[in-house]
């Protein structure tokens, strides 16, 4: 079967051919004809099978007839992350270059000015993340009553990120008579309930059992000590034929620290996580695509739907907390029929997470040992520590050190070093002040130092100059100026009911 057999227009077929594709994937072959027939779709397929093209291609042909109006998009595509939204926008530009369709991308992390200008001109396709869409809708900058087609992409990821309430509210703003397409790699009960509520007699398409990994990916579990994970990772990067790799971590701080560690050891690596602004994320992904860095350390923000060609390896530096994330992470390799390898580092604390992953995918993953070179690293460090301890001079006991100090102080003046004699010959006022230790002070001086400052005798306080006036205390009378001689009774207008 070819794309020409699916009923697409000639202009669209030309764009697809120029993009290098001639045979549709199973999800594309089943979904595209149904979308062109204006049916609601539930598409379930493992990641990397071409779900994006299965709704982008028919949408372009459907929207080719009609005219866009200001602030009223004709179709809406909801994506969970900015990266996925930008990737779908790239697909529309690539496949729709022979169609005169206007597109707008609404994502957070960028200025609203250009987005508002695009909406005012009128758009045929609106690609948005739920947060930014709800923000603009609340400001009255967008109307959804003209949207005749809705696509909810990566629905299970929407669930993980807490977007399901927003999606339900968005669906209530759309026309009742519309076409709805829902695509997901897994189908948890909440997503099934959402589909039953907002889809009308949908056609369900499953090209693989939910939450299964691609057969093109070789999966392995690597037993490591939690303190030696970085050493094991570097050893495996050097031992494997790694042309391009994505390394996933559970925390953003781990992403930053691991990337710095790899760079210090000479690896060409970059990082991407939620704390990086959108422009920096895009720039880092471009560097990875162009080969300027061949290792990308990432959080789960890059685990869903990112289509980066040529990724040979995926390393789960941390075992994912949710089993579904494992399927999406390893799906960054082995895409479009290529082969790939996925390694997951397993510590003693990860036993439960690994059991849940194996239950989800329905297969047992083979365990392998970490490289042997890692086991030799620790003894080498211990040998260096022992050498360092042996090189240190032995410290003398305290009594011996005190005895040497007293002998040094009791030496005759002629036996003392020249610098010490010169220091003693200086005038007394030029000598640095040296305080005796507390133990060597007289007992009465030590008792005086222990008294609080307020109980010290007044004689011990510093003398004031006779010419300086004494400091004014809190309750002293205030001198308001020279006496004017008035000693009579208080005037009547100043008498407020008291005598004296």
* pLDDT tens, residue by residue, 462-491: 555 555 555 555 555 555 444 455 555 655
The residue that leads in pLDDT, 393 or 367, is 367
Q: What average pLDDT does this structure show over 426-431? A: 60
Q: What does the alpha-carbon distance between residue 210 and residue 430 come to, in Å, rounded to a whole number?
A: 87
pLDDT in tens, 24-50: 988 999 999 999 999 999 998 776 678
Q: Are strands 366-369 and 41-44 parallel, antiparallel or unpaired?
A: unpaired
> pTM of this prediction?
0.61
Q: What is the pLDDT of residue 440?
A: 62
Residues 6 or more apart from 29 whose CB is under 8 A from it? Answer: 1, 6
Q: What is the pLDDT of residue 231?
A: 92
pLDDT in tens, 185-221: 778 888 999 999 999 999 999 886 655 666 788 999 9
Residue at token pair 């020409």: 4
Dihedral angle computed from the Cα positions of residues 470, 471, 472 and 478, in that order, rounded to the nearest 10 degrees? 50
The residue that leads in pLDDT, 330 or 160, is 330
- Burial level of 432, CB count in 10 A (0-12/13-18/19+)? exposed
Q: What is the pLDDT of residue 147?
A: 94
Domains located in the chain, CATH noted = 3-206 (3.40.50.300), 217-378 (3.40.50.300)
For 14-23, 43-52, 437-446, which range has the lowest pLDDT when averaged over its residues? 437-446
Contact, 306 vs 184, CB < 8 A?
A: no
pLDDT in tens, 103-158: 999 988 778 888 898 898 899 999 999 989 999 999 999 999 999 999 999 888 88
Contact, 417 vs 424, CB < 8 A?
A: no
pLDDT at residue 257 above 70? yes
């Amino acid at each position: 079967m070819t794309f020409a057999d699916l009923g697409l227009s000639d202009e669209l077929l030309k764009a697809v051919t120029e993009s290098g594709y001639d045979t549709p994937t199973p999800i594309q072959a089943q979904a595209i004809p149904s979308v062109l027939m204006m049916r609601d779709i539930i598409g379930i397929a493992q990641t990397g099978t071409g779900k994006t093209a299965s709704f982008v291609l028919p949408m372009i042909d459907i929207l080719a007839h009609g005219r866009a109006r200001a602030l009223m998009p004709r179709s809406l595509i909801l994506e969970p992350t900015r990266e996925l939204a930008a990737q779908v926008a790239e697909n529309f530009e690539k496949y729709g270059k022979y169609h005169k369709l206007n597109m707008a991308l609404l994502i957070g992390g960028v200025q609203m000015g250009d987005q508002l200008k695009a909406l005012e001109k009128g758009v045929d396709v609106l690609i948005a993340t739920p947060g930014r869409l709800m923000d603009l809708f609340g400001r009255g900058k967008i109307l959804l009553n003209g949207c005749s087609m809705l696509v909810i992409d990566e629905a299970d990821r929407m669930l993980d990120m807490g977007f399901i309430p927003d999606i339900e509210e968005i669906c209530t703003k759309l026309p009742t008579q519309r076409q709805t397409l829902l695509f997901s790699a897994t189908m948890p009960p909440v997503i099934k309930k959402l589909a039953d509520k907002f889809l009308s007699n949908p056609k369900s398409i499953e090209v693989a059992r939910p939450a299964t990994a691609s057969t093109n990916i070789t999966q392995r579990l690597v037993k490591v000590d939690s303190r030696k994970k970085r050493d094991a990772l570097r050893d495996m990067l050097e031992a494997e034929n790694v042309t391009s790799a994505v390394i996933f971590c559970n925390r953003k701080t781990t992403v930053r620290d691991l990337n710095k560690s790899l760079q210090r050891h000479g690896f060409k690596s970059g990082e991407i996580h939620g704390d990086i602004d959108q422009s920096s994320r895009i720039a880092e992904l471009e560097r990875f695509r162009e080969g300027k860095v061949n290792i990308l350390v990432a959080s789960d923000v890059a685990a869903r739907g990112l289509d980066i060609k040529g990724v040979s390896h995926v390393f789960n530096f941390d075992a994912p907390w949710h089993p579904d994330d494992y399927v999406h992470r390893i799906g960054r390799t082995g895409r479009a029929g290529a082969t790939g390898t996925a390694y997951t580092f397993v510590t003693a604390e990860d036993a439960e997470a690994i059991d849940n992953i194996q239950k989800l995918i329905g297969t047992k993953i083979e365990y392998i040992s970490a490289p042997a070179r890692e086991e030799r690293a620790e003894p080498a460090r211990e040998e260096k520590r022992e050498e360092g301890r042996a090189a240190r001079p032995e410290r003398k006991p305290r009594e011996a050190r005190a005895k040497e100090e007293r002998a040094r102080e009791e030496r005759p003046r002629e036996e003392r070093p020249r610098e010490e004699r010169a220091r003693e010959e200086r005038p007394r006022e030029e000598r640095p002040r040296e305080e005796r230790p507390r133990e060597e002070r007289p007992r009465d001086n030590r008792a005086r130092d222990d008294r609080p400052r307020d109980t010290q005798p007044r004689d011990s306080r510093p003398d004031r100059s006779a010419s300086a006036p004494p400091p004014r205390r809190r309750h002293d009378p205030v001198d308001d100026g020279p006496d004017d001689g008035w000693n009579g009774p208080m005037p009547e207008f100043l008498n407020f009911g008291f005598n004296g």
